[in-house]
Amino acid sequence: MKKVYIYKRFERFWHWSQASLIIFLMITGFEVHDTIHVFGFNNAVMYHRIAAYLLLGLIVFAIFWHFTTGEWHQYVPTAKKLKDQIRYYTIGIFRGGPHPTKKTALHKMNPLQVLTYLGFKLILIPIVVITGVLYMFHKHIDQNSIIVISSIPLSTIAIWHTFGAFLLVTFLVIHVYMTTTGETLTSNLKAMITGYEEFEAGEKEKIKTKSKSKKGDESFATG
Amino acid sequence: MSKKMSGRMARNILLVFLYTIIGLLAINLFHKEEEPNLKLESLRNKYAIKDSSSVDHSKFTELQKEFKSPQEVTLACLECHNETHKEIMASSHWNWERASYIEGRGIKSIGKKNIINNFCIGTEGNEQACSKCHIGYGMTGDQYDFNNKKNVDCMVCHDQSDEYIKGSAMAGYPARNVNLKKVARSVGNPTKSNCGACHFNGGGGNNVKHGDLETGTLGCTREVDVHMAGNGMDLECVDCHQTRHHNITGQLYSVSSNNINRATCEECHTTTPHMSELLNTHTAKVSCQACHIPVFAKVNATKMEWDWSQAGKLKDGKPYFEEDSMGNHSYMSIKGRFRWEKNVKPEYVWFNGNAKHYLLGDTIDDTKVVVLNQLLGSHDDPESKIIPVKVHRGNQIYDKKYKILIQPKLWAPNKGDSAYWKDFDWNKAAAAGMKTIGLPYSGEYGFVKTAMYWPVNHMVSPKEKSLSCSACHNRTDSRLAALTDFYLPGRDGHDLLDQIGKITIFMAIIGVIIHGAARIFSSLKLEQEEKRNGGSDN
């Protein structure tokens, strides 16, 4: 067994807080949409707002982290091995074939994941966040003359926000399932908790990385 | 090894510390002690002190005599208050009309004098009876002298002896047994029972018209009305309907049409009365009444429907009546069939303070419900708010040929005078009534469905009983289901999007289940194959 250090501490913190916030926002959000009943409408509205502000704060940190650490490079899309990856999920996985790409600290995502998470970060999250902020500040002129965003009808904002929410739930379902497609059923999940992913001994492939010299045993699997 | 251990320990301690802080922050954010609403406290303090009168009328020598007529009382009042009659004569309580701008019609003089309703329909031709609620004496017909100061009825509003009562069909004169001396010496600021004499009993009985103003509000509990409650602030009408020079604030939209001189909740409670910012933003579009008056007619039932077409049935040639389970008249030969309701959920409309009215002679579309007083407003109008209303639905007489509503003659002292309540002949009543108002009658009458909108402003519930968010913000039985010109979170959504969204999530779940099942199946198969291969190797 070899251990590879893939997810750094902030990354794990960010992932799990974002996950819990988004799930909480889903529950409260669909309660505001009157699809489910958990907290009661008024509590749901209040919780949804508080969680929204927390998520906004987290997103600011995450953006900062991505740029200062250069992690954003991970999300540069590539067509290389993309076909192989799709082939793996549709055919290879049923034949016990090997993963076409290997995880390392520098390439923690396969090309399909890169595309998915890039879409998640650049399209899906912006849709929900922007419509969400517009929703929160969509107020009418009242005697206090608070902020007025009434030129965009609330229905448009709400429909886009709901659209994003449905996509997020769909994403969540597939995302949770896909975590089971790692080396073992739980290896991806463990990696996101501990930071380390375990590989079967005898992995032969060697991937050049700088971190190898820095942290010998923590970097990645070697033959 | 020990170094690694202590490093992990430090990390764990740090994590516990971090989560404790997050936990404490969360508790602080999600749990808040209710703060006292100081605005409300200061209002309570202000109105806890009741005014006492600066003069005692019982000691005035002018009032120490026996009065032969109510006019003599008025003249006695005018000896000191020698200009006050001018204020009265400028009021619509006296004139029964006022100049109003009506949308699309220009400036019209409208009021009780000439507006048609769907209760007893109208006063014209029936003044002798209707003037029981006129603050004057001697209105027997449409030739009333509105400039005679002797006929101003001071007592009906200012009597504090509970002695004064106007006689039935006595043209506004007091009942004969009223002790005028006692009344005159008792006068003071009007109280609820003064105003209620007319405003509780309009339409021929208690709570017939308003639904939120009735004798049940006298000495009521806070559950009925927080403002008027005997065990609450016990406010008088004029505490809110502030009055200067006999000009009483407040509009009754059965006869009023303009957004002026109104009495509003906001005057005391401001536009930001809640401790919650989110609730305060509602006040831009939602009236206070909409949430704080969840039901009206809490003590006694109110009339919701009035079908005049059923009137005129007689038993042994005599008029009769029937009662419903609550003891209210459900049928009267003279008036037709009624439906009463108690603890009524209001309907809701947009309202900007202005109303349109059916004016005498207006042609109607008899295939539709004729709205007699349309409350104006819409979501896009910044002046409009959602208000609760009592909608009174009628079925009343109209001219089938000329397509106009008919003002029938209902009351007369004797039979044979064309009055419906004596002769039960719609044709004669219609002809006589229309002659009085100077409009033609074709001789063909029918009955048309009408609706009247009565804004509900009283019977404010304690805050614990006010509507919860989900009363409106819900998909299946929102109280605002009828107001469809805006997007209401919780009530509205995009049906197609919701369907597609649900299907997408469902498909994703099915997809991963199939994919997962296929993986399990194929791995089992692979294992078997390996076993078989392994076996053959040996």
Within-domain flag for B189? no
pLDDT tens by residue, B315-364? 999 999 999 999 999 999 999 999 999 999 999 999 999 999 999 999 99
Rounded CA-CA distance B34/B255 in Å is 43
Lowest mean pLDDT among A118-127, A136-145, B92-101, B374-383: A136-145
Under the banding of pLDDT at 50, 70 and 90, the label for residue B10 is confident
Tell whether B524 lies on the interface with A, counting CB pairs under 8 A. Answer: no
Tell whether B7 lies on the interface with A, counting CB pairs under 8 A. Answer: no
Facing A41 at nearest CB: one of B382, B469, B516? B469
Under the banding of pLDDT at 50, 70 and 90, the label for residue B6 is confident
- Which residues of chain A make contact with B491, given a CB cutoff of 8 A? 34
pLDDT tens by residue, B380-436? 888 899 999 999 999 999 999 999 999 999 999 999 999 999 999 999 999 999 999
Tell me how close the Cα of A153 comes to any Cα of chain B, in angstroms: 8
What is the pLDDT, as a whole number, of residue B394? 97
Lowest mean pLDDT among A24-28, A45-49, A206-210, B63-67: A206-210
What one-letter code names the amino acid at B171?
A
Tell whether B501 lies on the interface with A, counting CB pairs under 8 A. Answer: yes
Tell me how close the Cα of B456 comes to any Cα of chain A, in angstroms: 23
| Residue among B410, B384, B406 at smallest CA distance from B395 | B406
**B272/A144 touch (CB, cutoff 8 Å), yes or no:** yes
Lowest mean pLDDT among A75-89, B126-140, B374-388, B406-420: A75-89
- Which residues of chain A make contact with B493, given a CB cutoff of 8 A? 33-34, 158-159, 162
| Residue among B67, B66, B123 at smallest CA distance from B96 | B123
What average pLDDT score do residues A21-31 get?
96
Within-domain flag for B295? yes
| Residue among A223, A59, A218, A33 at smallest CA distance from A129 | A59
Facing A95 at nearest CB: one of B502, B512, B522? B522
Which residue in the block uniquely carries the two structure tokens 């739980």?
A: A186
Q: What are B37's two structure tokens?
A: 């609403």
Chain pair A-B, CB pairs under 8 angstroms: 106
**A33/B493 touch (CB, cutoff 8 Å), yes or no:** yes
What is the pLDDT, as a whole number, of residue A148? 56
Q: Say whether pLDDT at B188 is over 60.
A: yes
Classify domain A2-214 at the CATH class level. mainly alpha
| Domain total in chain B | 1
Within-domain flag for B516? no
Under the banding of pLDDT at 50, 70 and 90, the label for residue A217 is very low
Tell whether B285 lies on the interface with A, counting CB pairs under 8 A. Answer: yes
Q: Say whether pLDDT at B537 is over 70.
A: no
- DSSP H helices, A69-186, are 82-90, 111-119, 125-136, 154-178
Under the banding of pLDDT at 50, 70 and 90, the label for residue A222 is very low
Q: Say whether pLDDT at A218 is over 80.
A: no
Q: Are strands B98-102 and B106-110 parallel, antiparallel or unpaired?
A: antiparallel
What one-letter code names the amino acid at B260?
I
Rounded CA-CA distance B454/B393 in Å is 11
What is the pLDDT, as a whole number, of residue A102? 79
pLDDT tens by residue, B284-303? 899 999 999 999 999 999 99
| Residue among B120, B448, B481, B168 at smallest CA distance from B303 | B120
Tell whether B283 lies on the interface with A, counting CB pairs under 8 A. Answer: yes
What is the pLDDT, as a whole number, of residue B2? 61
What are the Cα distances from residue B171, in Å, to B128, B137, B196, B198, B444?
Answer: 4, 6, 19, 14, 32
What is the pLDDT, as a whole number, of residue B82? 94
What average pLDDT score do residues A8-20 get?
94
Q: Say whether pLDDT at A149 is over 80.
A: no
Tell whether B422 lies on the interface with A, counting CB pairs under 8 A. Answer: no
Q: Supply φ then ψ for residue B104, to 5 degrees.
A: 80, -5
Element (H, E) at B102: strand B98-102
**A41/B473 touch (CB, cutoff 8 Å), yes or no:** yes
What is the pLDDT, as a whole number, of residue B144? 94
What average pLDDT score do residues B16-28 get?
86
User: Which chain B residue lies closest to A180 (C-alpha atoms)?
Assistant: B516
| Residue among B305, B319, B288, B237 at smallest CA distance from B457 | B288
Contact B142, B129 (CB under 8 A): no
State the first-to-last Cα distance of chain A, in angstroms, to the nearest integer. 11
- Which residues of chain B make contact with A32, given a CB cutoff of 8 A? 473, 489-490
What mean pLDDT, rounded, does chain A reach? 83
User: Quick one: CA dihedral B140, B356, B206, B338, positive or negative?
Assistant: positive
What is the pLDDT, as a whole number, of residue B380? 87
What is the pLDDT, as a whole number, of residue B348? 98
Q: Say whether pLDDT at A221 is over 50.
A: no
Rounded CA-CA distance B45/B57 in Å is 29
**B504/A170 touch (CB, cutoff 8 Å), yes or no:** yes
Facing B489 at nearest CB: one of A95, A146, A158? A158
Q: Say whether pLDDT at A202 is over 50.
A: no
Q: Say whether pLDDT at A204 is over 60.
A: no
- Which residues of chain A make contact with B29, given a CB cutoff of 8 A? 50
Under the banding of pLDDT at 50, 70 and 90, the label for residue B84 is very high
Q: What are B456's two structure tokens?
A: 């509900």
Contact B186, B427 (CB under 8 A): no
Q: Are strands B445-455 and B370-371 parallel, antiparallel or unpaired?
A: parallel
Under the banding of pLDDT at 50, 70 and 90, the label for residue B50 is confident
Residues in chain B: 538
What is the pLDDT, as a whole number, of residue A4? 84
Q: Say whether pLDDT at A210 is over 50.
A: no
Between these two residues, A213 and B7, which has the higher pLDDT value? B7
Rounded CA-CA distance A92/B139 in Å is 99
Within-domain flag for B259? yes
Which residue out of B31, B469, B496 would a mutagenesis test of the A interface target, given it has the greatest number of A Cβ atoms within 10 Å?
B469
Q: How many CB atoms lie within 10 A of CB B45?
A: 9
Collapsing DSSP states into helix, strand and coil, what is residue B228?
coil
What average pLDDT score do residues B448-460 get?
98
Q: How many CB atoms lie within 10 A of CB B198?
A: 16
Contact B213, B298 (CB under 8 A): no
**A142/B284 touch (CB, cutoff 8 Å), yes or no:** yes
What average pLDDT score do residues B27-47 get?
83
Strand partners, A5: A196
Facing A153 at nearest CB: one of B278, B469, B487? B487
Q: Say whether pLDDT at B164 is over 60.
A: yes
Contact B119, B306 (CB under 8 A): yes
What mean pLDDT, rounded, does chain B reach? 93
Rounded CA-CA distance B129/B115 in Å is 16
What one-letter code names the amino acid at B29?
L
The angle at the Cα of B166, spanning B160 to B171, to the nearest 5 degrees, equals 145
Lowest mean pLDDT among A16-30, B28-42, B449-463: B28-42
Tell me how close the Cα of A55 comes to any Cα of chain B, in angstroms: 14
What is the pLDDT, as a whole number, of residue B262? 94
Q: Residues of A near B (CB-CB distance < 8 A)?
A: 32-35, 40-42, 45-47, 49-50, 93-96, 139-144, 146, 153-155, 158-159, 162-163, 165-167, 169-170, 173-174, 177, 180
Mapping DSSP onto H, E and C, the string for B270-330 reads CCCCCCCHHHHHHCCCECHHHHHCCCECCCCCEEEEEEHHHCCCCECCECCEEECCCCCEE
Tell me how close the Cα of B487 comes to any Cα of chain A, in angstroms: 5
- DSSP H helices, B131-264, are 155-158, 180-186, 192-199, 237-240
- Which residues of chain B make contact with A174, given a CB cutoff of 8 A? 508, 511-512
Under the banding of pLDDT at 50, 70 and 90, the label for residue A208 is very low
What average pLDDT score do residues B66-77 get?
96
